[in-house]
Chains A and B, each alone.
Chain A
Amino acid sequence: MAATFAVIHPGVFSTVQAAPRRGFLDSGIPPSGPMDRFALAMGNLLLKNPLDEAGLEMTGQGVKLEVLAETVVALTGADMDARLNGAEAPLWQSFLVKPGDVLSLGLAKQGWRGYLCVAGGLEVPPVLGSKSTYTLGGLGGVRGRILKKGDHLSVGAAAEPLAGLAGRRAKGSLLPAPESQYELRVVPGPQDDHVRDESVETFLGQPYRVSHNSNRVGYRFEGPQLFFEERAESKDAGADPSNIVDDGNAVGAIQIPAGKEPICLGPDAVTMGGYVKIACLISADMDRLAQCRLRHEAHFQAVSVERAREILIASLGRLKEENVLTA
């Protein structure tokens, strides 16, 4: 199939992401998929694609693309100072691009992950049932890796004639408020009982700084030392009180090796580990974490698992046709 885009500049870490890859967790393969699920889904909704159709996830810095064939695109998530042939291009709104156009994104000005969706979705072969890129395992996306200069990207068939897909924008009231993204809600557990009560309070009360050492595998946070309950010596678990007998890692689980630098696991996380997990980020707030800028201050806030579900339902409930405005 003829390509629709040629990559002039690949950005820093740009990958194709779509519906997660399920069914291989027991083989050590995490789900992957967009880190900001709402942003990708809204981009797809604007283009009348299935909500988990393949789009491009860009990290910190966006891509520069040459358009080879007419199509409609939508940019969502981080504001990356998008330009179409040098003129400002809209965010959260679909627009037509034509052969010869240059779509150029820069550094993230607000938020951290930008998404580029295209009518019909990016066409890459599904691997193990998913188009999502998992770079460590070399699966999905463009040959299992981040975009490179010179890559050509093809797109699938659009749902409708292109003219009807352009000029659709998301209601502004639905969009995430930038100041909210550093309030990260968590469900305590699975091993919060290994942590001293006052340290659980510290974790939930004190500010943490997002470390520069953060990516789709995990986000590190710098903050106060946390302390563990006394426990019997365990040859199976390991010497340090932050060690446990290895168990499975949820996406969003927050490990605290040695009580320092909590690590919140992302969609490409290692599937198991031997460290206490004090809490897990609620699934809806992976969207917030995805947009956290490095070195910024964040807070963890405890919610119940029932409340987490309500938040998820409300978050995904925004993805309705009635919330799309037509220019």
Chain B
Amino acid sequence: MIYPEPRFLYSGDEYLTIELGDEMTLRANFMVVALNEAIRQARITGFRETFPGWRSLLLSYDSLAVKTADLIAELKGLLRQIPPVKEVPSRLIELPCKYGSPWGKDLDFVARQNNMPPAEVVRIHSETIHWTGMVGFTPGSPQLMQLNPEVLLSTPKYVSPRLYTPTGAVALGGSITAHYPVVSPGGYQLIGLCPVPIYDRFQTLAQFEESPVLLRIGDRIKYQRVEGEEFDHIRQLVIEYRYQYRITQGAYRLPD
């Protein structure tokens, strides 16, 4: 649900959680995007940075500059002024993905869970547009929601997390797709591998000049299915710093 009034929850003395609801929906996420923009533009006293999530926003503040009670009062005033948001800026980003073995080794499992052949999982996952609801856990890792899928793909997560997930892994857990920017543990089912980085700590590729992280909340992702030779070709372009990301600026409107 979306709460009638936002909840202000202490997260220690340097962070505040502003919780708008307890649901993982586009509607709740739109409200978070709007709140995040409003807070960032409002020049709140003591503001450090924010972490916008599915249904809540974590605000980091300098508690030497502002008392928590005063901060909450200021935020309450600000929240009253935020109009309902129906449309937000949203880039459409195409990312290549090689589905199935060797890296998408759980594709068959996911197919069985969804009572369809692996090729059908691949078709649906690559034809669906995915909404970036949150970026985090590890640097630049998006949590992606399927927008209006023909069939909502869904699968249980690993019972015990694996210790190694390769860079670029695309994986499904529940109905959320995770994309792993760095080698890390992980509990989502591996379905594919993306040959282009979404995190470039050296900021060598032109796309990463301003930030080592490609994706941000509100981006829409379309996975473009690629096979062996094309995958290798794209890898080569990345290695030679010649890969061009396919990004279209735009906006996305909340469906009625």
Q: Taking beta carbons and an 8 Å cutoff, which residues of A are in contact with B? A: 22-29, 31, 127-128, 136-139, 144, 186-191, 234-238, 244-253, 270-273, 277, 280-283, 305-306, 308-309, 312-313, 316
Contact = CB atoms under 8 A, between A and B. Distances in A.
B135 A312 contact: no
B220 interface: no
A246 B49 contact: no
Contacts of B9: 189-191
Contacts, number: 173
Interface string B28-53: 00000000100000000000111111
Contact of A26 (B22, B51, B54): B51
B135 A281 contact: no
Most buried by B among A191, A253, A271: A271
Given A28-B138, A271-B136, A280-B15, A248 B22 contact: no
Contact of B15 (A127, A136, A188, A251): A251
Given A280-B10, A309-B13, A270 B138 contact: yes
A188 B17 CA distance: 13
Given A24-B49, A28-B140, 4 more contacts: A25-B136, A136-B139, A282-B12, A305-B13
B202 to A, nearest CB: 8
A247 B17 contact: yes
B13 A283 contact: yes
A22 B49 contact: yes
Contacts of B232: none
12 contacts: A25-B50, A136-B138, A137-B139, A187-B10, A236-B24, A247-B53, A250-B15, A271-B137, A272-B134, A272-B136, A282-B13, A309-B68
A281 B68 contact: no
A248 B14 contact: no
B36 to A, nearest CB: 8
Contact of B136 (A26, A139, A236, A308): A26
A180 to B, nearest CB: 18
Most buried by A among B56, B57, B58, B143: B58
A309 B12 contact: no
Contacts of A309: 13, 63-64, 67-68
